[in-house]
Structure 1
Amino acid sequence: MVTFYTRENETFSATLLSQIDAPSEHKNIVWIDMLHSSMDEIKQIETLFDIKIPTKQEREEIEISSRYWEDNRSIIINSYFFVSFFFVETAKAHYNESVSFVLQDNILFTIRDKELQAFEMIHKMLTSHPKELYSGYDVFMQIFDIRIDQDADLLEYAASESDDIRKKLLWESDGKSEDTLRKISTLQGFTLKVRQSVFDKRRILTALAKSNKLPQNIKQDIVIMIKDINSLVEFITIDGNTLDNLQNLFLAQTNIEQNKIIKLFTVASVVLMPPTLIASIYGMNFHFMPELDWSLGYPMSLMMMVIAGVIPLIYFRNRGWL
């Protein structure tokens, strides 16, 4: 599906490609959004606007040179947009989706394969409450600004989850469970994906700020956005360290619990050893054993076993081992 956003006076209109006879004749086109576009639609856009649309393989390249480049007419950007269903503990619950941006002749071309919240928000903004968005550069900056705000919200959410886990580990008995470790691990992956998305935005905006194709007012906005991203980077570093500390705390508490169990079994073994020794001696059944014919032998052996078990318990308690 290809949607054209055209500015008419102070309003925007959204029109599908199939509803337009000659898109190139519309001088007020600001943004062309290509969502789940077919190969025929992409070729049609390339022909009408004399533009090269990145392929799916090009959009997913990870080399820096493949994420941003310019030619004489256009700026091509491949960026990561973090997709999350918040704290759902599956690998597919959060991932980075590649989105391509092409800026040419003051028109923004976007190529994507997924519905993304930032694009839904900018669509509502254009059709209901348009701001001072007069060119594709303005729309691009607005999309990135929305995306950066969303990344900040996600990081705040991760920080809140980390704080809840810390409280469980310190004050609640059920905090030392496998579910807690799974949550910590999931949050680490969550934060890592957000970090990748944020770093990608910073790299793109830094390169974009050096471009000669951008108006000066856009460059000033980019400087402010880079400062916002740098604050997110610091937040990510702190949150990452917090999660590492939580994992270490969890493992330390797990080791303490295991040591307590091992100590309990060790004490039980030591306490049972003397009674076991006494029982073993009188269980040998040699013919010439003086106590075999003693009428008080049985109760005396039981008493000796009790005393032999109680003495180590008293000793361990006095030493503070119990």
Structure 2
Amino acid sequence: MVFVYQRTDSAFETANLSEIKELDKIVWIDILQPNEEEIKQIEALFNFKLPTKHDREEIELSSRYWEDSRSIKINSYFFVSFFFVENAKSHYNESVSFVLQDNILFTVRDSELQTFDMLSQMLLSYPKELYTGYDVFMQIFDIRIDRDADLLEYASRECDEIRKKLLWESGSHSVEVLRKISTLQEFTLKVRQSVFDKRRILTAMAKSPKLSKQIKEDLSIMMKDINSLIEFIAIDDNTLDNLQNLFLAQTSIEQNKIIKLFTVASVALMPPTLIASIYGMNFHFIPELSWGAGYHFSLVLMALSSAIPLIYFRKKKWL
């Protein structure tokens, strides 16, 4: 699918490829899962080659940002999340390609992304001062940065909930809590990859001679916002590490309690076992064999031998 956004005097309107008449009115062409025919039409009409899926997923720096005399080509990560972390498949980084050429922005992507839907609604409903593809590109990144900030705030709230659960709720050292901490760590890692990628792209763009002074000033503001997000990510990372250490400490305490219980039980039962073993020996000349109270004496002796270690442990506050 190809969505063409054209600027009129006071608003934006959409068009199909076949309806394009005046190229100078086009501001943004959004290309979603294009077929071969659509790719050929765009490449013939605008005289350039669209990035392939393989190009979008390249991780080398030279493949993430490329600028020549005619255009700027950018491959960026867009973090996708459904605002829950119970499943690691609920968040991932989606690659998106941007091509800026002749004041037109071309975006190439393989899946629906909320950022682009929001911008589309914004352009059609509340048109802003967006006249070129560079303006639209800056607006996309601005929306994306705000979205990443929301995701980090969500992760921070989740960390607070886990901390409260670990400190105040019994049975909080479950596998589910550890799984949630681990998934949140992966969640934050994916956001960090996306934010770092944005910083690298904007840093490279700031050096471009194709950008106006106003756009470079806007880039400077965005860079400050991104640096703030990076500091926020570092705080979340430290918090998650502390939560994991707290979880492991609580698990160790619970295990120590269980081991201590078994140890006390073993020590308490050792004297009665010894006494029972002595009186269970098959020797004819045992003094208590002919004693009428011998059996009751042995039972009392075993009870005392169990009670004395328990009393001693309690006085030592081991129980």
TM bucket normalised to smaller: over 0.9
* Correspondence for 1:103 among 69, 86, 100: 100
Q: Counterparts of 1:184-203 in structure 2 under 5 Å? A: 184-203=181-200
Aligned to 1:41: 38
**Contact 2:85 2:184 (8 Å CA) reproduced:** no
CA distance in 1, matches of 2:287, 2:186: 72
Residue type of the alignment partner of 1:54: P
Q: CA deviation at 1:159?
A: 0.2
Task: Identify the residue that residue 138 of structure 2 maps to in structure 1.
Answer: 141
- Equivalent residue, structure 1, for 2:152: 155
* 1:11 alignment partner in structure 2: 11
Is 1:112 matched with 2:109?
yes
Letter in 2 for 1:226: M
* Counterpart amino acid of residue 201 in structure 1: K
2:82 corresponds to which residue? 85
- In structure 2, the partner of 1:293 is 290
Amino acid at match of 1:289: I
Q: Which amino acid aligns with 2:169?
A: E
* DSSP 3-state at the match of 2:99: strand
Cα drift, residue 288 of structure 1: 2.3
Identity of aligned residues (%): 73
Contact 1:24 1:49 in 2 (8 A): no
Judge conservation of contact 1:61–1:67 (CA < 8 Å) in 2.
Answer: yes
Please give the TM-score of this superposition, normalised by the length of structure 2.
0.98
Secondary structure in 2 aligned to 1:175? coil
Residue in 1 that maps onto 2:91:
94
Q: CA deviation at 1:244?
A: 0.3
Q: In the alignment, does 2:202 pair up with 1:205? A: yes
- Gaps of at least 5 residues in structure 2 are none
* 1:169 correspondence with 2:161: no
TM-score, structure 1 length as denominator? 0.97
Question: Which segment drifts farther, 72-81 or 8-17?
Answer: 8-17
- 1:135-156 residue CA offsets vs partner (Å, 9 max, x unmatched): 0000000000000000000000
- SS of the aligned residue for 2:24 comes to coil
DSSP 3-state at the match of 2:227: helix
Which amino acid in the other structure matches residue 232 of structure 1? L
Is 1:283 aligned to 2:280, yes or no? yes
The runs of 4+ residues in structure 1 deviating greater than 6 Å are: none
State whether residues 24 and 48 of structure 1, in contact with CA within 8 Å, keep that contact through their aligned partners in structure 2: no
Tell me if 1:183 matches 2:165: no
Q: Secondary structure at the match of 1:77?
A: strand
1:58 — aligned with what?
55
**CA distance 1:98–1:24, shift in 2 (3 Å):** farther
What letter matches 1:83 in structure 2?
A: V
Conserved 8 A contact 2:85-2:180: no
Q: CA deviation at 1:24?
A: 6.3
Q: Is the contact between residue 29 and residue 106 of structure 2 (CA under 8 Å) also seen in structure 1?
A: yes
**What's the CA shift for 1:2?**
0.6
| RMSD over aligned Cα atoms | 1.0
Q: Which amino acid aligns with 1:135?
A: T
Structure 1 residue 44: deviation in Å?
1.3
Q: Is contact 2:5–2:28 with CA below 8 Å preserved after alignment?
A: yes
Question: 2 CA distance for matches of 1:12 and 1:221?
Answer: 22
Cα distance in structure 2, aligned partners of 1:35 and 1:142 = 19
Q: Which amino acid aligns with 2:301?
A: M
CA distance in 1: counterparts of 2:191 and 2:264, whole angstroms: 49
Q: Distance in 1 between matches of 2:162 and 2:126?
A: 41
Q: How far is the alpha carbon of 1:16 from its aligned partner?
A: 2.1
> What runs of 5+ residues in structure 1 fail to find an aligned partner?
none
- Secondary structure in 1 aligned to 2:292? coil
Match of 2:214 among 214, 217, 225: 217
1:257 to 231, 254, 257: 254
Aligned twin of 2:266: 269
Which amino acid counterpart does residue 6 of structure 1 have in structure 2?
Q
Q: Decide which moves more: 43-52 or 221-230.
A: 43-52
